[in-house]
A and B are shown apart, each in its own frame.
Chain A
Amino acid sequence: MKATVTVKYFEEGEVKDGELMMNGMRSFIFLAAIIFLFSLPAAAFGHGVNIEYQTTKAVEFTASYDTGEPVSNGQVTIYSPDDPSTPWKTGQCDEKGRFTFTPDPSMQGTWDIQVRKAGHGGMIHVNVDGEEAVAGSTGYTTTQIVLMVACVVWGLIGTALFFKRRKN
């Protein structure tokens, strides 16, 4: 019986920022004053809830045997690229052989993940090279990016030339 591991990535905690628009200096000063007034007692009450968030990238994988049966409660050991000898994290798959973790984005390179159960196991290697690798792919090759940048630059120059010609 062999343990094989398939990997899929997903983004976790994607939150969109709201926008606040105010017209005129007067409105701005009014809003600033309101915010200032409300912020003073909040500190004094001491029961306020401060919630901060950050967007992170997580790795989810599913471990299964050759038969397709999940490696239920399989032992998970994760090694970071910075210290491949010492487990960075250990844990256990769920009933369906799934496990999720968030790699430390400061450690770029290959993360090695071992899953074992009852004398059988396997290992996968997940490459985490910054944003692009964690997200899977931006979908653009270097050549495509160069072409896109060149097109934008050329468009700006063309616009400048157009207005210059009209002025002349």
Chain B
Amino acid sequence: MKKFYYMAVLLTFLAAILAGCGSGGTGDRAEQSENKTGTLQFTANGEDFVRQGFTSKDGWDVSFNHVYVNLADITAYQSDPPYDAHAGGEVQAATKTIIPGAHTVDLAAGDQNALPILVSEKEVPVGHYNAISWQMLKASEGPAQGYSLVIAGAAVKNGKTVNFTLKNEKEYKYTGGEFIGDQRKGIVQEGGNTDLEMTFHFDHIFGDAGTPADDELNVGAPGFAPFAGLAADGNVEINMAGLKEKLSPEDYQKLETMLTTLGHVGEGHCYCEVL
């Protein structure tokens, strides 16, 4: 009789061990060695909207001389789980790399076919950097001093030209997941070189005549007409405080909202915190 009890206990343990083995081994992605490194470049891109200009939702042909953004605390993450910008919050990542300091870049630099602007590059552990965050802070020096964003250019409609300089003293933090675009970005291989992009969509502010008028983008964008309406002798230079005072509450509200949607990762949206 005792023999059967021993057998029973033994079999039960065996079953438990077998079941345990079956449920293990979920290994998601290959573990990356900390010793292996590659180069990660951080770029900023105003896209063709900034490089080539575009027609606003209200028919102004807008072109840009300078679009300064002051970027700080740029951080790339190997996020796990993948960051969901829709849900927002902090990125969960065991590996991350930070570019120290602030960097003012001109998104309009170069010709119409210029490449995205290289902000910085760094030797980093290999792996897939599938999330990025950056702050847009007031510059302490340089051409954007006192502002996080300066947009300077000219807009033409029906033979009338308006030279504009729009300055933003508000500060933001954008956090995005994986780059959405033609090519996959952020996969660093040993000795290799890849990039991560901070993308800025200025059609969100001025609207885009190439998109239907009832599209969410054009409905939400202020367009260029509200800014043109503030011009004197064909010129307007104004900051957010001035715009709050002079724009209609509806247009100012639209502008405030759309500035939080400026930051992208390619075609993917970012979660934005107003600092």
Contact residues of A with B, CB < 8 Å?
A: 1-2, 4, 65-67, 79, 81, 84-85, 109-110, 112, 114, 116, 118-123, 125, 127, 129, 142, 145-146, 149-150, 153-154, 157, 160-161, 164
Contacts and interface: CB of A to CB of B under 8 A. Distances in A.
Nearest to A112: B178
Contact of B267 (A120, A154, A161): A120
B274 interface: no
Contacts of B128: 84
Contact of B15 (A67, A79, A149): A149
A2 B267 CA distance: 9
A106 to B, nearest CB: 15
Contacts, number: 79
B250 interface: no
A127 B16 CA distance: 26
Contact of B28 (A118, A123, A127, A142): A127
A84 B184 contact: yes
Contact of B16 (A79, A84, A149, A160): A149
A85 to B, nearest CB: 5
Interface string B249-275: 000000000000000001111000000
Interface of B: 4, 7-8, 11-12, 15-16, 18-20, 22-23, 26-29, 81-82, 86, 128, 177-178, 180-181, 184, 187, 201, 203, 211, 215-217, 266-269
B92 to A, nearest CB: 13
B268 A123 contact: yes
A160 B8 CA distance: 11
A122 B264 CA distance: 11
Contacts of B181: 116, 121
Contact of B8 (A116, A121, A154): A154
A161 B16 contact: no
A143 to B, nearest CB: 9
Contacts of B16: 146, 149-150
Given A85-B187, A145-B23, A122 B82 contact: no
Contacts of A119: 201, 203, 267
A157 B268 contact: no
A123 B211 contact: no
B8 A81 contact: no
Given A2-B269, A109-B29, A145-B22, 16 more contacts: A1-B216, A1-B217, A119-B201, A119-B203, A119-B267, A121-B180, A123-B268, A142-B20, A149-B15, A150-B15, A153-B12, A153-B15, A157-B8, A157-B11, A161-B4, A164-B4
Contact of B19 (A4, A66, A125, A145): A145
Contact of A160 (B4, B12, B28, B177): B4
B229 to A, nearest CB: 26
A106 B12 CA distance: 32
Nearest to B128: A84
26 contacts: A1-B216, A2-B86, A79-B184, A81-B29, A85-B184, A109-B28, A110-B28, A110-B29, A112-B178, A114-B180, A118-B211, A120-B267, A121-B267, A122-B86, A123-B177, A125-B81, A129-B26, A142-B20, A142-B23, A145-B22, A149-B16, A149-B19, A150-B12, A150-B16, A153-B12, A157-B8
